[in-house]
């Protein structure tokens, strides 16, 4: 049987060990956070380096299409001109959104073919958008 003094010393020693362990775990956590940030940042940078701007992507889903435009902040084009090209080609814009990530601007347009029997020639739309954006 341990005396009360011995029990207090053991408890104090145990608390000290726990504090040291907590501090060590905090350091490991901080190091991992820094490593993760560097990794994700370098992955995003390498992905963006491989991306030649501007980018025009058009996905045809039958009666609807999705247009994704990626440009740099310094590349200016009038968004209404993109809408006009789509309208000229027989497509009605349902929704449009954009977001800025770093020095890139991502535009996404969802549109619907006005006359589904006629459809839309997506290669022509893509070509006209390339001419407009590039």
Task: Examine the pLDDT at 23 and tell me if it is beyond 90.
Answer: yes
- At 95 the three-state DSSP class reads strand
pTM, entire model: 0.58
Instruction: Output the furthest CA–CA distance in the chain (Å, rounded).
Output: 94
Question: What tens digit of pLDDT does each residue of 98-118 get?
Answer: 998 888 888 999 999 887 656
Task: Examine the pLDDT at 50 and tell me if it is beyond 70.
Answer: no
Q: Which two tokens stand for residue 90?
A: 């027989």
């Amino acid at each position: 049987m341990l005396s009360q003094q011995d029990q207090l010393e053991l408890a104090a020693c145990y608390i000290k060990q726990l504090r040291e362990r907590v501090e060590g775990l905090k350091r490991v956590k901080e190091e991992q956070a820094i490593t993760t940030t560097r990794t994700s940042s370098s992955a995003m940078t390498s992905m963006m380096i491989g991306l030649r701007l501007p980018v025009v992507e058009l996905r045809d889903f039958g009666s609807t299409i999705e247009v994704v435009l990626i440009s740099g902040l310094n590349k200016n084009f009038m968004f209404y001109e993109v809408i006009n090209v789509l309208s000229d080609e027989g497509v009605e814009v349902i929704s449009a959104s954009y977001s800025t990530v770093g020095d890139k601007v991502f535009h996404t347009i969802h549109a619907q073919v006005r006359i589904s029997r006629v459809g839309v020639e997506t290669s022509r739309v893509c070509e006209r958008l390339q001419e407009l954006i590039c």
